[in-house]
Chain A
Amino acid sequence: MTIVEDLKILEKNGFQVLPYELAVNEEEAVKIAKKIGYPIAMKVVSSQIEHKTDIGGVVIDVKNETLLRQGFQDIEKKVRGKKIDGIMVQKMARKGIELIVGGKKDPQFGHMVIVGLGGIYVEIFKDVSARICPVTNEDVKEMFTELKANALLEGARGKRPVNKKKLEELVVKICRFMQKYDVKELDLNPVICDHEGYDILDVRFSR
């Protein structure tokens, strides 16, 4: 399963995903970007690439067509030799705090859900909190308070607090989703959030 297929299933289940389309050549990418509107981000889609940021398979904050063409060619160069499905053109996400919302099926307790500080350093900081599914809004509130990153969510350094209410709904819904599809492992990473809401940028799950 590629990210595009995973994102489709999420959308089908009522999750709001940032607008995206898969481009298989440069001209297609230009067309899609026009449709979605600049700025956009581009990400390589390939089942052979584990960490697409690390190999230069991601270009963000592309503001116009010239930069898009340049970025497209850059990515193609970096992933040469790998089998790719195309390059995903996605609306540029809001600026905010990167969280991870994930889950897995535990052999003893069944589905569990986690939230934590997301992005590419997830496994270094390991600032996550977990609960067994299903969870209530109360449970999710507690999960946030267990995070070191909670201070950021509450609005550190003059920033406004993030919209926790919407995040709570997301976590509750993810639990239902995992149970419905009997998901083995799932990452929504990053989920970028600010005072208004959040954007789901990337998803990976296995059944």
Chain B
Amino acid sequence: MKKMTKNLKYIFEPKSVAIVGASSTANSVGNILMKNLVDGKFPGAIYPINPKYKEILGVKCHNKLTDIKGRLDCVIIVTPAVIVPEIMKDCAKKKVGGIILITSGFEEVGRQDLAKQVKDIAEKNDIPVIGPNCLGVLNPYTKVDSIFLPVYKLGRPKPGSIAFVTQSGAVGSAITDLAAYYGIGISKFISYGNATVLDESDYLEYLLEDKETETIILYMEGAKDGRKLLETMKKVNKVKPIIVLKAGKGKGGQAAARSHTGNIAGSNMAYTAAFRQAKVTEADGINELFDFVKMFSQPKQEGKRIGVITNGGGMGVLTADYIEKEGLELAEFSETTKSELKKLLPSYGNVGNPLDLVADSGVNAYEKAVDIMNNAPEVDILVIIVLFQTPPIDERIVHVLTRVSDDRNKPVATISVGGEYTEAYRKILESNNVPNFNSPSGAIKAVGKWVEYSKYSGHLREK
């Protein structure tokens, strides 16, 4: 890892943060960022910089960066683009640790000259710069938060193990908001915008070493450097799974070609080829991305024999269809397992896989069925369908599902399809880190991807 990338630690774990362009004006970017740190109880020193103010939110304000005594780890810049090079020179003078450059008005509006100045100063001084034209970062562990969208409008996820790297601020913030809503924890959020100084590959390199990160989500529209991305993805994905969502799937901009290959193989196909070569997991849309993220927090499993429990026969059949379609298998229960399961069913019930507990079964039947399958050696993965519409199911089911997910013995996916009442339970399960899906197809596809990645990483271990 190059020195500049290593220095990102000053941005993610700063002891001091300066905000150049901090403001008292409500809802201005400079004001929201101040609030993020002050209200968010950032434990380090906070230095608002703006010659117009004496203090902001009760914090003493400075005229310029060089007025600050002592070391500065992270500088967030939200001033107009034209004065950014000057501010960066001050940063170099102060030997700051790193810069989050929120400001827009660089390459994206044709100001390559300004962008080049930023790049030159950063590289000469080994100062990592995130952005420009970005939302910056969020680290729930250290409470660094440069997302200039108010907390009441955009929820902040709790600390967790998923890092999220995004080119687009809009997609990034929407996904962050959803993660917060479902109680999915993140380790780092990085919105990198124009990638003028550091690009997507550099962030992946950093996250490879980041101890809080276990899974990485990458959203991008186009790579800054495709070859470098391919090599970096290969390296990182061997250790930590990367789930990628690539936008810009259309054929637009593809040059007219004279060969068949030229006509068929657009840039989109090159990306897909690169993703497959690096063995990263490509998601088709935001919903699928979330499905994968949930499943990828489960224990690794190379086996593909699934035990399905349901309290609705039809939903079990649907699930079984998808299991076949994804190349997974329904586990064949041993005689022991069968006789144990038989005891849970009413006299007219049949032991099968999917195991239909029937609609009048309560939480006790679930609990026993889950335990039996969890201990059955012929079952690799548990898929538990809970239809909350049936009368005997109550809140105790949350405890049963959380316990089996927490013991990390086998991967668990739960499926609940329904309206408002069901959604409320789904949210509770999610915030207890129990993967819950609102469709059998989504759940089983995610299980399939997880088995595929587990096999890949297992295969690496054997080598």
Contact = CB atoms under 8 A, between A and B. Distances in A.
Determine which residue in A102, A110, A130, A205 has the highest number of CB atoms from chain B within 10 A of its CB, and name it.
Answer: A130
A112 B272 CA distance: 11
Contacts of A146: 276
Given A109-B226, A139-B277, A206 B259 contact: yes
Given A107-B267, A110-B226, A131 B258 contact: no
B270 interface: yes
Contacts of A123: 260, 263-264
Interface residues of B, number: 24
Contacts of A139: 277
Nearest to B253: A107
A102 B259 contact: yes
B459 to A, nearest CB: 11
B306 to A, nearest CB: 22
B257 A104 contact: yes
Contact of A131 (B257, B259, B262, B277): B277
A122 interface: yes
Interface stretch (A7-15, A26-34, A72-80, A185-193): A185-193
Given A108-B223, A131-B277, A102 B267 contact: no
Interface residues on A, range: 20 to 34
A126 interface: yes
Contacts of B226: 106, 108-110
Given A108-B223, A132-B274, A189 B267 contact: no
Given A108-B226, A112-B265, A114-B265, A122 B274 contact: no
Contacts of A185: 257-259, 261-262
A128 interface: yes
A112 B264 CA distance: 12
A112 B262 contact: no
Contacts of A131: 273, 276-277
Contacts of B257: 104, 185
Q: Interface SS of chain B: helix, strand, loop or mixed?
A: helix
Interface string A85-117: 000000000000000101110111110101010
Contacts of B227: 108-110
A100 B265 contact: no
A70 B272 CA distance: 49
B277 A132 contact: yes
A102 B260 contact: yes
A107 B224 CA distance: 11
Contacts of B264: 114, 116, 122-123, 126, 128
B418 interface: no
Nearest to B279: A142
A131 to B, nearest CB: 5
B224 to A, nearest CB: 9
A109 B270 contact: yes
B274 A103 contact: no
Given A108-B227, A131-B273, A204-B258, 14 more contacts: A100-B260, A103-B261, A106-B267, A107-B267, A114-B261, A114-B264, A122-B260, A123-B263, A128-B269, A130-B265, A130-B269, A131-B276, A132-B274, A185-B257
Interface of B: 222-223, 225-227, 230, 257-265, 267, 269-274, 276-277
5 contacts: A104-B262, A108-B225, A185-B258, A186-B261, A187-B261
Interface of A: 100, 102-104, 106-110, 112, 114, 116, 122-123, 126, 128-132, 135, 139, 142, 146, 185-187, 189, 204-206
